[in-house]
Amino acid sequence: MKKKMINRLGIILLILLIIQSLSALSVNLPEGAKNLTIVDSTRRPSTASDTLSAIAGNVSQLNIYAWTTTKTWQGYYGNVTGKIQLGDSSGYTLYDWQTSNPSGQIYASTSEVDFSDGNIECYNFTRTGGLYLDISAYESSLDIPATASDGINETFNLTADYDDFYIGTTRINQTCPTAYLYNSSNQSSKDTYQELILYDLTANIPIYTSIIQPDGIVGFDGNIWNFQMIVAENGRLGDDTPTDYFFYVQLE
């Protein structure tokens, strides 16, 4: 009798472990991009010099408007294709669905991200203390001066006006640092390309998050793209060392 009870308890424990394992695996989380290919990479050309005539004895008032390339940001844009899979832990596929116009998000960060439930939130510009990488420390790490017009919180504004989404069971719908990237000539509404800054509470790093446009919209150059995004990069004080970003994708 005692032996049977022990066996029953063992079976019950095994069932509970299986249920717990299945529960832990039931939530889909962002995954590393299967293939990243640079199709083209260009840079804004420098503006040619203009000339003015100098006449001895004259004092001239000038109005000058100039362009210069940012020393804070790298831009990415392009299209997304892929498939949604049903498979086992060994990598065998039972069924998959090709998707040429997927929805979802693209994530980029300077280290690997832990997408576990409760670990990802909107980057908080006002939070300080502990290991949290506050906005002051983040900009300092990029040599961004307080007066820079292309700083982090000058580029991303706090708003909840974006298309909300889920990471696992965590709904991203709070006030979040958000930027709208150029849709032809528009850079002021959520109808353009939306990008957020999220935060990994374990690694204490920001996560740049681009919301995929399923059918594509007109982009900055007049072509149709699924996404446009920018990521922070230090190009100041003679720093020309590139930064490696980890890319993740969540297709829906």
The Cα diameter of the chain in Å comes to 114
Lowest mean pLDDT among 87-91, 194-198, 210-214: 87-91
Q: Is residue 26, in this structure, part of any structural domain at all? A: no
Which residues have a Cβ under 8 Å from the Cβ of 230 and sit 6 or more positions away?
Answer: 73, 74, 75, 76, 155, 179, 181, 195, 208
Q: What are phi and psi of 210, to 5 degrees?
A: -100, 130
Q: Is residue 33, in this structure, part of any structural domain at all? A: no
Q: How confident is the model at residue 43 (pLDDT cuts 50, 70, 90)?
A: low
Tokens of 226: 């699924």
Lowest mean pLDDT among 16-30, 68-82, 161-175: 16-30
Lowest mean pLDDT among 50-54, 144-148, 209-213: 50-54
Q: Is residue 43, in this structure, part of any structural domain at all? A: no
Write out pLDDT tens, residues 73-86: 999 999 999 888 89
**Owner of token pair 């991203």:** 172
Write out pLDDT tens, residues 102-152: 899 999 999 999 999 999 999 999 999 999 999 999 999 999 999 999 999
Q: Is residue 63, in this structure, part of any structural domain at all? A: no
Boundaries of domain holding 133:
70-251
Tokens of 35: 């293939």
Q: How confident is the model at residue 250 (pLDDT cuts 50, 70, 90)?
A: very high
Residue 50, pLDDT > 60, answer: yes
Q: Is residue 176, in this structure, part of any structural domain at all? A: yes
Write out pLDDT tens, residues 169-181: 999 999 999 999 9
Residue 5, pLDDT > 70, answer: no
Q: Is residue 148, in this structure, part of any structural domain at all? A: yes
Angle, CA of 177, 40 and 35, to the nearest 5°: 75
Q: How confident is the model at residue 22 (pLDDT cuts 50, 70, 90)?
A: very low
Q: Is residue 118, in this structure, part of any structural domain at all? A: yes
Looking at residue 175, its pLDDT comes to: 97
Q: Is residue 41, in this structure, part of any structural domain at all? A: no
Q: How confident is the model at residue 19 (pLDDT cuts 50, 70, 90)?
A: very low
Domain count along the chain: 1
Looking at residue 243, its pLDDT comes to: 94
Looking at residue 8, its pLDDT comes to: 55
Dist CA 133 CA 136 (whole Å): 8
Average pLDDT, the chain: 86
* pTM, two decimal places: 0.83
